[in-house]
Amino acid sequence: MTGSIVEFDRVGLRYGTGAEVLCDLDFRLSEGGFYFLTGPSGAGKTSLLKLLYLAQRPTRGRMSLFGEELGELPREALPSYRRRIGVVFQDFRLIRHLSAFDNVALPLRIAGYSEAEVEGPVREMLAWVGLADRASARPPTLSGGEQQRVAIARAVIARPELVIADEPTGNVDAAMAQRILHLLTAMNRLGTTVIVATHDVGLIAATPGAQLIRLEKGLLVDPTGALRHPPRGAQGAP
């Protein structure tokens, strides 16, 4: 895969009448790439993630996703694009009264899969994240690391083209952080584009070949121009 899955052209974002929190973002992310989103607190990382998983729209500029410009896209068309994106939220956002199995199954059920079609893939995914024996457990009974792995399983169960993870290792120990990183890089090797927001420099160092998206005060820091003009065929995969 050699095309761009994300394109930003002088994108800006403001909330209400306040100052812009993102300004003149101009970059391209390649299909099949692995990217770390970094920057100090208040740099605009959360706002950029919201644009990427379509929770917000730019207030100016042009944004394309999966080769389609989204500026004039009607609101009712957004869900079909969101189904192509898997999101791992920092606070997990698991449904507390549902079992781990049912949380992971949710994207497939929303997409209209039958229960017969759901059973096997969800069991396989829970085994893949090391939670085969916790399928019936509800989130309040799971550890932070277990909840994080359920959240990752839910994000990738429908084989999305793009996975966005917000501080996925922020609430776990070093060993679990490495396990989560392994899960994400395994998905990337299967062709999924991965974007991970993190402050963990060790995590970045452990992923040779990944590219950095660095923000400072709402601006993209890209001194080499590698994100604005990625080499033809570049993927940036670990």
The pTM of this model reads: 0.90
* Residue 68 is assigned to a structural domain of this protein: no
Q: Flag whether 50 is in a domain.
A: yes
Q: CATH number, domain at 134?
A: 3.40.50.300
In a domain, 112, yes or no: yes
Is 67 among the domain residues? no
Instruction: Give the pLDDT of the chain (238 residues) as one tens digit per residue.
Output: 458 999 999 999 999 988 999 999 999 999 999 999 999 999 999 999 999 999 999 999 999 999 999 877 888 888 889 999 999 998 899 999 999 999 999 999 998 999 999 999 999 999 988 899 999 999 999 998 899 899 999 999 999 999 999 988 877 778 878 888 888 998 899 899 999 999 888 889 889 889 999 999 999 999 888 898 776 555 555 6
CA distance 48 to 5: 15
Select from 46, 22, 34 the least CA-distant residue to 237: 34
How far is Cα 86 from Cα 151, in angstroms, rounded to an integer? 10
189 found inside a domain: yes
CA–CA gap between residue 134 and residue 100 (Å, rounded): 7
Q: Is residue 202 part of a domain?
A: yes
Q: Which domain holds residue 78?
A: 36-57+74-213
Closest CA to 12 of 70, 52, 62: 62
- 224 within some domain: no
Q: Has residue 226 been placed in a domain? A: no
Please tell me the total count of domains within the chain: 1
Residue-wise over 53-84: b if at least 16 C-beta within 10 A, else e? bbebebeebebbbeeeebeebeeeeeeebeee
